Amino acid sequence: MEIESKILSLRSKQQVEKVVRWVGTDPKRCEQLMNWFLYGSEEISKRSAWVLGHCCERHPELAKPWIKPMVKKLKESDTHSAVQRNIIRILQFVEIPKALKGIVVNICFNFISDTKSEIAPQVLAMTVISNIAKKEPDLLNELHVHVTQMLPYTTPAFRARAKKIFKNLDMSEKHTALNKNDEDKLLHDWLMKKE
């Protein structure tokens, strides 16, 4: 497969799916794609990001050797929003190394708190932090503060993701099914509780 030309011509989910199947679980093919994603021109980087997001969702182990370079790329101020979005998307599927957790958490909180940020990175960043918080519960208070501060500026997608996250974090021990009203009350109570 002439992969570079295929990536540059991506226009549909079906085309992306063909490249995702070509990569499969092959680390060498993933490496080729990652190099274009991290070090290629803006256009090939954006197109590769689309494919990598899907590849790493299905096979998170492919991203493991690339977490540090992806975090470095995420920190660069001139990184295109499509690339940022897909890096955060990938980070929600992988175990983040301890040495990078602090950096990743700070980056994610910056996305959540930025009123000018697109909604996709905000909600993906919430998921990344909630995944880390499962092993580092002290992050929940900080997540609580950031989400509460953003409520006046949020979209329905932001609220829906917050509801899902808080339901999973708070209710995992109770094992009870909630209806929509209970979910709304849970989100409200969780966000408004005093420290």
Q: pLDDT tens across 144-185, in order?
A: 788 878 877 788 888 888 888 877 665 444 434 445 565 566
Q: What is the pTM of this model?
A: 0.79
Residues contacting residue 156 through CB under 8 Å, at least 6 positions apart: none
CA 77 – CA 99 distance, rounded (Å): 22
Q: pLDDT tens across 2-58, in order?
A: 667 777 777 788 888 888 998 999 999 999 999 989 988 888 888 888 889 999 999
Contact yes or no for 29/70 (Cβ under 8 A): no
